[in-house]
Structure 1
Amino acid sequence: MKIGIVSIIKEPWGGSEELWADMAAEALKEGHEVFVSALKCGPPHPKTVNLLKNGAKLFYRRGFVQPGIPFLQRIFRKGLIILANKLQNPFHRLFKERPDVIFYVGTSYSIGEDVLLLKALDKTPAALYINCNLNHDVRGFGGTRYDLIKAAYQRARKVLFVSEGNLEIARRHLCSNIDNAMVIRNPVNLANIGILPFPEEETVNFAMVGILVTDHKGQDLVLGALHQEQWRARKWHLNIYGAGLDEGYLKQLTAFYGLNDRVTFHGKVNDIKEVWKKNSLLLMPSRQEGMPLAVVEAMVCGRPSVLTDVGGHREWVTEGQQGFISPGATVRSMADAMERAWEQRADWKQMGIAANTAAMERYNPVPGKTILKLLLTA
């Protein structure tokens, strides 16, 4: 079988890539052909390189304009892309391979914006599978093409969500049961992690792990909470792991709140065990979410979390058992949840053990094989 994968991510790698990469690795082992269409936004990630070594083919497509360049240059480059796309569909190299299946990896609604992909699909019998990694619990985002989204969902063999919460939001937004939907868990490398010894330092270390994009991960909400008076006399340190477009803003906000001596930016990290050897509590103040791997990894390592009630967070964490839930993605709501957590910090170690148990019960040990089995029925 020929399997085409379309990723819309605007960086070399992210949590959304783990599922398709796991499936692609399984497909290559079984002798199937794998073709990946991705945006050119930096050197390929080591996991991509490994797939290429094992026989996958990577086709970069136009569409990404590096952020931070001067405004006029940005407009000029976008204009060139629009012109080039009119002359030739950016997905032409992928469809030239005549894939039997297209596995689309994006948000719940991004397929409605990928009009050129939909046009290419109209000219092929390839079976479509849509992997929805997140959505936002609001209705009526400007310009969202719900008619195209519903049509794409109806065309798809399966629409795969990473949490029940995302699926329920999509049903409400689209006024549809989405009868071909199913929930699939993202992969977690459990072979190398498990419950780690709980930190015993007097100064409590908090961790925020994820891409530094505040519209998605909401790191600014935690900084706003820690700026409040009650936190000034407490012994704590916040460690921020990750990189992204809002790194500069978050560093400015940290300085503005006078927290430079209590917040450390570590950049991207590859060894999750090193994160959880040091830190006692995960803070995940997301404004929109699917089901972040960072939460599951923290749970597997035996750490409780403070999470906003978005995506699949509540499916994995119960208030007061494996962590704490902030009902809203606001500074006040997140601050209240963090306050509840601080008052119960003597219970964190036991809650971390409960988190590990819950994670081990919920995760899919072979998500790549699960997806591949689905595709082979196309």
Structure 2
Amino acid sequence: MKIGIVSIIKEPWGGSEELWADMAAVALQGGHEVYISALKCGPPHPKTVRLLELGAKLFYRRGFVQPGIPFLQRIFRKGLILLANKLQNPFHRLFKERPDVIFYVGTSYSIADDVLLLKALDKTPAALFINCNLNHDVRGFGSVRYDVINAAYQRAKKVLFVSEGNLEIARRHLCSPIDNAMVIRNPVNLSNIGVQPFPQEDTMHFAMVGILVTDHKGQDLVLGALHREQWRSRNWHLNIYGAGLDEGYLKKLTAFYGLTDRVTFHGKVNDINAVWKKNSLLLMPSRQEGMPLAVVEAMVCGRPAVLTDVGGHREWVNEGVEGFISPGATVQSIADAMERAWEQRADWQQMGLAANATAMKLYNPAPGKTILNLLLNS
């Protein structure tokens, strides 16, 4: 089988890439052909390089304009992209390979922005699968996008969501049962599956793990909570892992709140087990979410979490059992949830064991194989 993968991510790698990469590796090892269409936004990630070594082919397509460049240059480059797309479909190299299946990796509604992909699909018999990694509880699209999204969903063999919460939001937004939908859980990025020894330091270390984009992950909300008076006399340290467009802003905000000596930015890390050997509690104050790998990985390692009530968080964490739920993505709501967590810090180790038990029941140890079987059966 020839499998085409379309990723919309605007960086070399992210959590949304783990599922298709797992599937691609299994497919290549099984003798199938894999073609990847991605935006050119830096050198290929080592995991992409590994797939290329296994035999995958990578086709970069135009569409990404580097953020931070002067406004007029940005407009000029976008104009050139629009003109080039009128002359030639940016997906032409992918479809030249005559894929049997297209596996589209985006948000729940980003397919509406990829009308050129849908036009290319109209000219082929390739089966479409849509992998929805994210949505939020604000509708935010008009009638044209509504029609395009629904039409794409109906064309797809399967629409794959990473949580029941995301699926229910999509059904409400689109006024559709989405009968061809199913929930598929992402793989975990751990070399060793199991509980990590609980830290014994007097200082409580908190971790925020994920891309540093605040309208997605909401790291600024935690900084706003930790700025409050009651936290100044407590023995804690916040470790922030990841990189992204808002890294500079978050560092400025940390300094503005006078927290520089109590917050450490570690950048991207590959050793998740090492993160949880050091930290006792995950903070995930997301404004919008699918089902973040960081939450599952923390739970597998035996750590409780403070989460906002978005995406699939409630499907994995129960208040006071595996962690704590903030009803809203606001400083006040996050501060209240963190306060409840701090008051029960003596129970964190036991809650971490409960988190591990729940995660081991819920996570899919071989999601790539699950996806490949879906594609083959299509």
Q: Normalised by the size of structure 2, how large is the TM-score? A: 0.99
Could you say which residue in structure 2 is the equivalent of 1:35? Answer: 35
Distance 1:140 1:23 in 2: 32
Could you say which residue in structure 2 is the equivalent of 1:221? Answer: 221
RMSD: 1.0
AA aligned to 1:82 is L
Could you say which residue in structure 2 is the equivalent of 1:172? Answer: 172
Could you say which residue in structure 2 is the equivalent of 1:271? Answer: 271
Secondary structure of the equivalent of 1:353?
A: helix
Q: CA deviation at 1:143?
A: 8.3
Question: Are 1:22 and 2:22 counterparts?
Answer: yes
Secondary structure of the equivalent of 1:21?
A: helix
Question: Are 1:7 and 2:7 counterparts?
Answer: yes
Q: CA deviation at 1:140?
A: 2.8
Secondary structure of the equivalent of 1:160?
A: strand
Q: What are the within-5 Å matches in structure 2 for residues 85-100 of structure 1?
A: 85-100=85-100
Could you say which residue in structure 2 is the equivalent of 1:199? Answer: 199
Q: What are the within-5 Å matches in structure 2 for residues 278-293 of structure 1?
A: 278-293=278-293
Distance 1:374 1:194 in 2: 29
Secondary structure of the equivalent of 1:357?
A: helix
5+ unaligned residues in a row in structure 1: which ranges? Answer: none
Distance 2:227 2:189 in 1: 35
Question: Do 2:190 and 2:272's aligned partners in 1 also have CA atoms closer than 8 Å?
Answer: no
Distance 1:154 1:331 in 2: 39
Could you say which residue in structure 2 is the equivalent of 1:368? Answer: 368
Q: What are the within-5 Å matches in structure 2 for residues 1-378 of structure 1?
A: 1-141=1-141, 145-378=145-378
Stretch deviating more after TM superposition (182-191 or 211-220):
182-191
Aligned pair in 2 of structure 1 residues 153, 142: CA closer, same or farther (>3 Å)? closer
Distance 2:192 2:41 in 1: 30
Q: Normalised by the size of structure 1, how large is the TM-score? A: 0.99
Distance 1:66 1:193 in 2: 37
Q: CA deviation at 1:141?
A: 4.2
Q: CA deviation at 1:365?
A: 1.0
Question: Do 2:59 and 2:94's aligned partners in 1 also have CA atoms closer than 8 Å?
Answer: yes
Q: CA deviation at 1:225?
A: 0.4
Q: CA deviation at 1:193?
A: 3.5
Distance 2:191 2:230 in 1: 40
Distance 1:124 1:71 in 2: 38
Distance 1:346 1:313 in 2: 23
CA offset digits 1:68-111 (Å, max 9, x no partner) = 11111111111111110010000000000000000000000000
Secondary structure of the equivalent of 1:3?
A: strand
CA offset digits 1:17-65 (Å, max 9, x no partner) = 0000000011111111000000000110111101101110000000001
Q: CA deviation at 1:274?
A: 1.2
Question: In the comparison of the two structures, how many residue pairs are matched?
Answer: 378
AA aligned to 1:305 is A
